[in-house]
Structure 1
């Protein structure tokens, strides 16, 4: 009995952390639905690396797998991994914790953030760069990082920097307008926006795919960086969007309608 209670409390603590992230995962899924309705549905997997400059923070790997209107987000940090499955058509989100063999199910509704209190200042700078991906196979591209050599047949795209300021928050958005194979994922990526800047980021019309976002404080110090590191256009297996039958299920309240403030 005690073990069961401890397991439940541990799951709920994990669930509360997952819920915070889950709110913007819901937005991502609904953004995907909007892109799909426009006839630009993306199918495959994108891998991002998130690096925080906060003391003690470890890099986070995030996989976004998309198929037939379903979205799966895998989060890997410090050797631990969890994943979330979003089903917009059935307004359902499942946060899965394999180590505990548990799944937390939650109904989802509208997560449209409120209009921004401060209008953003968006400036196209004179900074450009070349971003290169190695061709691993017929469906997979991986980012050539600084200091690495590009392989034969590598694909290079033009990146344009946009400087954004909202109140005392600053960021850099790097946009690749010729990364056309991800055209259907642009709305989905925009929907990943979280925190106080979520509203304007969801509404701005970028002229291409934002492959890197750098957030800064008021003094210009880098706080975090999110970078696209791999693209896989292979059709995902349907089983990736299912939960094992033997996992213990718990039901949580509906996800809140507003984006969380960081």
Structure 2
């Protein structure tokens, strides 16, 4: 189980720790695919400062992660063991920005599209030969990155892990209220290297206990894991 937590879906989900849906309450399903193929689908269940991430892969076996933005902590649920563990989210999104100057540029194209019923504007980010098209809605709260501070953060972007995530992620961190429903990154030769697409959006009124460990689960402390998110 330790190996799964360290190297499996948790790496990707933990990298999404900075997702914050400020107004939207409900469920968003995002499918992500990197250069090597192999689609991953993660459901984000959001309510205020709370986000519950549920990977849909069979090997996840019901494992989920709960992010508490107010407390800056994450709780990982392990149903097979009937256990959970809590660790800090180090480094709030607002503090992110990278240690060096970004070379990325963002441009609003003027094109619009309705994705799953939500109005989106297209933005294009260019950085060091790479080009990323993002379709952004302002109706689902804020999305602040897939790669911040996580050793596997760059995996889904088809690049090595980096502390601040991909260029498009860094730009989104400072845009309160922006949420991407589609992201397509291509290299200088036009080859697609990352694709993110919203598959389903379900507004709902959610119970508070969905964002807490179930009754009967025991707390487990894993040594030397550190915090995610910064």
TM tier, shorter chain?
A: 0.7 to 0.9
Aligned counterparts of 2:200 and 2:127: Cα–Cα separation in 1: 29
Greater fraction of residues in helix = 1
**Offset of 1:22 from its aligned partner?**
4.9
Aligned counterparts of 2:119 and 2:24: Cα–Cα separation in 1: 21
C-alpha distance 193-115 of structure 1, shift in aligned 2 (>3 A): farther
- Equivalent in the alignment of 1:46: 28
Aligned counterparts of 1:256 and 1:205: Cα–Cα separation in 2: 21
**Offset of 1:209 from its aligned partner?**
4.4
| Deviation sequence 1:119-162 (CA, Å, 0-9, x none) | 21223336x354353xxxxxxxxxxxxxxxxxxxxx5x554432
C-alpha distance 122-223 of structure 1, shift in aligned 2 (>3 A): same
Aligned counterparts of 1:176 and 1:257: Cα–Cα separation in 2: 24
- Equivalent in the alignment of 1:96: 77
Q: Is the 8 A contact 2:17 2:229 kept in 1?
A: no
- Equivalent in the alignment of 2:181: 211
Aligned counterparts of 1:254 and 1:173: Cα–Cα separation in 2: 32
Out of 200, 205, 208, the residue aligned to residue 230 of structure 1 is 200
Out of 92, 104, 107, the residue aligned to residue 123 of structure 1 is 107
**Offset of 1:73 from its aligned partner?**
0.9
- Equivalent in the alignment of 1:166: 127
Q: Does 1:76 align with 2:56?
A: yes
Q: TM-score scaled to structure 2, two decimals? A: 0.73
Aligned counterparts of 1:255 and 1:204: Cα–Cα separation in 2: 24
**Offset of 1:76 from its aligned partner?**
1.2
Gaps of 5+ in 1: 1-10, 36-40, 134-154
- Equivalent in the alignment of 2:17: 26
Q: TM-score scaled to structure 1, two decimals? A: 0.65
Gaps of 5+ in 2: 148-164
Aligned counterparts of 2:209 and 2:71: Cα–Cα separation in 1: 18
- Equivalent in the alignment of 1:149: none
Aligned counterparts of 1:199 and 1:115: Cα–Cα separation in 2: 12
Deviates more, 1:215-224 or 1:112-121: 112-121
Cα root mean square deviation, aligned: 2.9
Q: Which has the larger radius of gyration?
A: 1
